[in-house]
Structure 1
Amino acid sequence: MAKLDVSIIEVIDKMVREGESEEKIIRTLKDLGVEPNKAKKLLLLGQADTFSLLKGEIKKIVRGEMEEEKPVLKKFIEEEAMGSADTMRQELTKAVISDLRVYEKDITGQSQTFQEQIQQNINRVNDLNERVKVKLNELGEAVRDVQVDMDEVKVKGLGSRNRIISTILWILGLVFGVMVAGNFVLVSGQPITIDSLILMTIMALLSVTMLFVATVI
């Protein structure tokens, strides 16, 4: 490139930087002996160089501002990350507490049900005791009646018949006793239901009553 072209480009670059109008730049170039077409091309070239320089300066400015704002951005990102972590931690804690409350409610409900079952069994045992007492009183009265009848029979001299009845009662009493013992052996090591306990109690009472009556005949 000739020295004159370099000088002309410098003039164009200076005038562009100074914000001169396109017409004034072309007119100046004509005064310097540059043809109109070439003047326009040189003007475009000068504007392109100026735009490239402008882009470079803008990049520098943006880069500098980003470097200045980098600590602030870093702090902002860290704060946002910590805030998100705290939020997630709180949500997780709430979820765990909610699950624990549901589990506690289920356990409490099961415990109440178990206590209700125990109370029902206690009530049934108390009822069994009352029923046993009633049966014992009834059996006691029956034994006394039988004993009175046997005394009357003895008075009437029916000794052989009494011995037969006594033997039968002994056998029946022993049979009931063996059945009760057999039931205890069968249910040993297993939970005994209230119904089974009532049945064995009645059989035991019958066995004792029959053996007692057999002794008084």
Structure 2
Amino acid sequence: MKNESIIQVIQKMVQEGQSREKIVSTLKDLGVNDEQAKKLLLIAEADTFTLLKKEINSMVREEFSNNKKDFDNLIRSELKKIEDNEKERVEQVALAQLGQVEKDVLDKTKAFETRVNEVVGSSQKTVGMVKIALDSVHEKLSQVELDIEQIKVHKYRKKTMLFSYGFLVLGLLILLFSFGLFVVKLNELDLQQMLIIGLAMLTSIVFMFASIVS
């Protein structure tokens, strides 16, 4: 019991910030020798440190409990900031990617329009050439019809008429074949094929004129 009272005295003096020498001197006054006084001082200091730790832990828990709501609000606020920043960053990335996709689509659309315009221009040129060729063929056919009428009026000999009609039929067949080939392969014609078809048409006209002459 006496030892417990002495320890309490020591703890009180330690808490008050008394020096070690004064604590040891006080213990000697209480009848404690020097060696025992030092041991008791160590025990008291250890107990005081333990109590101090408990007190600090208690204060920390109390402080945390009192400020828990503020901590929660702070955490939520920081998380909201992070979320907003990430959301903004994602939106910026998405807008940048969308802008690039839009640019690619516009570039491809312009390229397609240019190609279509080129094809249309080429087709219009081809159609114009075909129209000119057809007009020329129509004129030749009209002339052939007129010549045929003249042949009928003159009534050549039977043999001459047979040769004339033979040339005429052959010329018409070549002309129709050339015209049909021209129409069927209109979109696939190249310069060489157009020259061949033109020569065939001229050949048919020569045959028809030959039929008239004969």
Q: Give TM-score scaled by structure 2 length.
A: 0.73
Does the alignment pair 1:195 with 2:194?
no
The 1:104/1:64 distance shift into structure 2, 3 A limit, reads: same
Does the alignment pair 1:170 with 2:169?
yes
The 1:65/1:55 distance shift into structure 2, 3 A limit, reads: same
Q: Any idea what the Cα deviations from partners look like across 1:144-196, whole Å, max 9, x if unmatched?
A: 887899869x97x68845642542342343355357657877x8xxxx73537
Aligned residues of 1:29 and 1:39 also touching (Cα < 8 A): yes
Letter of the structure 2 residue corresponding to residue 7 of structure 1: S
Q: Distance in 2 between matches of 1:44 and 1:18?
A: 16
Note the C-alpha offset of 1:31. Answer: 1.0
Aligned residue for 1:63, secondary structure, equals helix
Number of residue pairs matched? 204
Stretch of structure 1 that moved more, 133-142 or 75-84: 133-142
Q: Any idea what the Cα deviations from partners look like across 1:17-44, whole Å, max 9, x if unmatched?
A: 2211111111111111111000000011
Q: Give TM-score scaled by structure 1 length.
A: 0.72
Does the alignment pair 1:59 with 2:52?
no
Letter of the structure 2 residue corresponding to residue 16 of structure 1: V
Q: Over aligned residues, Cα RMSD in angstroms?
A: 4.1
Could you tell me the percent identity over the aligned residues?
30
The 1:169/1:112 distance shift into structure 2, 3 A limit, reads: farther
Q: What corresponds to 2:115 in structure 1?
A: 117
Q: What corresponds to 2:8 in structure 1?
A: 10
4+ residue stretches of structure 1 with deviation over 4 A?
136-152, 157-163, 178-185
Note the C-alpha offset of 1:60. Answer: 1.0
Aligned residues of 2:171 and 2:208 also touching (Cα < 8 A): no
Q: Distance in 2 between matches of 1:138 and 1:178?
A: 16
Q: What corresponds to 1:108 in structure 2?
A: 106
Q: Distance in 2 between matches of 1:90 and 1:164?
A: 92
Q: What corresponds to 1:206 in structure 2?
A: 201
The 1:13/1:81 distance shift into structure 2, 3 A limit, reads: same
Structure with more contact order per residue of length (Cα contacts < 8 Å, sep ≥ 6):
1
